[in-house]
Amino acid sequence: MKKSAFLYFASFVIITIIIAPSMIAQSIDERLHFSPLDYAKGYVQPLVDAFGANLNSGLYQSADTEGDLDIYGGIKIICTFITSDMQTFNTVSPYNGQTSTTATVLGGNGSDIPGTIPSGAPNKYLSGAAAFGNVKLVPLFVPQASVGNYMGTQVMIRYLPAQNMSDVGKVSFWGFGVQHSLSQYISLIPLHLAAQITYQSLTVGDNFDASAFSLGIQASKKILLITIYGGLAYERCTMDLSYNYENPVTHQAQKITADFTGANTFRLTVGANVNFLFFKINADYSLGKIPVGSIGIGVGL
């Protein structure tokens, strides 16, 4: 079965969101072909919210960027829990202007479209992922590496080699961050303090461009093999989506471009990291408008 731009958008290439093949078989142009801009925004927005929250998670597992050489490589497993308000939205019928409630991309079956249906036009709104299975999470799997600590500074990298997909075009993803020690400038504090700035970018063919930014302050304390850490961050995720739209009434065609901004702007994170020989396992939970949990599994010095 062919892969689609919608699959790569919904799953960020390596996101494993469980969406049935019958849903993802269509390209974004096919799926949103009869969907006006306002409808497309309401339909896709909850996935953008979850995606942005996930992408800005799991960025660190300690605030200690001082001392000897520190090298880390591993996988971050990140999950946003789908709530009921992420599964439905209100939209206006293109046929008679009546407002009704229907499914988002994370919701269930699409409702009937009110009004007189023109020949060849859809009579139901689009269904979401939950119509094809019991989808409770939007997960994200991200490869991540970091190296430090020169002058109290550590560099973080997220990267996937660019790939040419026959049906969606070129897919590329990269991200980087810089974490710098603040505690080295402040004496008599029994905690490690650091500031971090990160930026990430995703491009999928001509359909999607996404970027994520985070700026935060972290604190951590190591007790034997366990490091307790937490942080406060400002974040932003934006996405551009484009597709070919046909008005279902007039059959006039046009190119639609939609701009999205993720719901999260601030988050509070608490977590713990366990170091055993060369193995590192961490878990944290972030409170924000979209709560997120993450687990990191890796190796390092």
Query: pLDDT tens digits for 82-136?
Result: 889 999 999 999 999 999 999 998 899 999 999 999 888 899 999 988 877 777 8
Average pLDDT over the chain, rounded to whole? 86
The pLDDT assigned to 128 comes to: 86
The pLDDT assigned to 86 comes to: 93
Task: Name the band, by pLDDT with cuts 50, 70 and 90, for residue 14.
Answer: very low
- Which position has the higher pLDDT, 136 or 35? 35
**Torsion angle defined by CA atoms of residues 287, 208, 239 and 74, in that order, rounded to the nearest 10 degrees:** 30
Q: 152: alpha, beta or left, given left = phi > 0 and alpha = psi -120 to 50?
A: left
User: Would you say 14 and 54 are in contact if contact means Cβ atoms under 8 Å apart?
Assistant: no
- What domain range includes position 48? 5-300
- Which position has the higher pLDDT, 231 or 239? 231
Count CB-CB contacts under 10 A for residue 199.
14
Q: Tokens 């009110």 identify what position?
A: 114
Number of domains making up the chain: 1
Q: How far apart are CA 99 and CA 93, in angstroms?
A: 6
Query: Which residues 6+ apart lie within 8 Å of 177 measured at CB?
Result: 59, 155, 156, 157, 196, 197, 198, 199, 214
Task: Name the band, by pLDDT with cuts 50, 70 and 90, for residue 77.
Answer: very high
The pLDDT assigned to 60 comes to: 97
**What type of residue sits at position 276?**
F
**Per-residue pLDDT reduced to its tens digit, 186-207:** 877 899 999 999 999 988 777 7
The pLDDT assigned to 169 comes to: 66
**Per-residue pLDDT reduced to its tens digit, 246-290:** 998 888 999 999 899 999 999 999 999 999 889 999 999 999 999
- Pairing assessment for the beta strands 169-181 and 253-261 based on DSSP bridges: unpaired
**What type of residue sits at position 104?**
T
Q: How far apart are CA 89 and CA 86, in angstroms?
A: 8
